[in-house]
Structure 1
């Protein structure tokens, strides 16, 4: 998440700085596209990690329940 915030901040700086030439504008557009692609990849990775976390939490709850059931018997 920090990386996304840093990328957003860099993007704001680039936009605020303005463009003195067409070449510079194209360079900024390419940089922006690269950053957007990276942010998209990070969001996908974040979603995958959340799904994995949910699976592990379910496994943990199952194990805890089984152990508490075993200790009751």
Structure 2
């Protein structure tokens, strides 16, 4: 499996299919039928609803650590 660039059109298509009520495995099958390229389910889930993406707890902790560190200097 190689790297596939996610274009804006492809991301919008994933969101459209998700808004129709399709689950991520169904979206993968639909994209494969349309493009002939297999997209991993995990990658599809990332673009299903991008507004819900939040930084992980580790990133939040490190951001806090560096912000406090800068204040003390």
Q: Shared fold (TM-score greater than 0.5)?
A: no
TM-score (norm 1): 0.35
TM-score (norm 2): 0.35
The structure with higher relative contact order (CA 8 Å, sep 6+) is 1
User: Which structure's residues are more often helix, by fraction?
Assistant: 1
Instruction: From the CA coordinates, give the structure whose radius of gyration is larger.
Output: 1
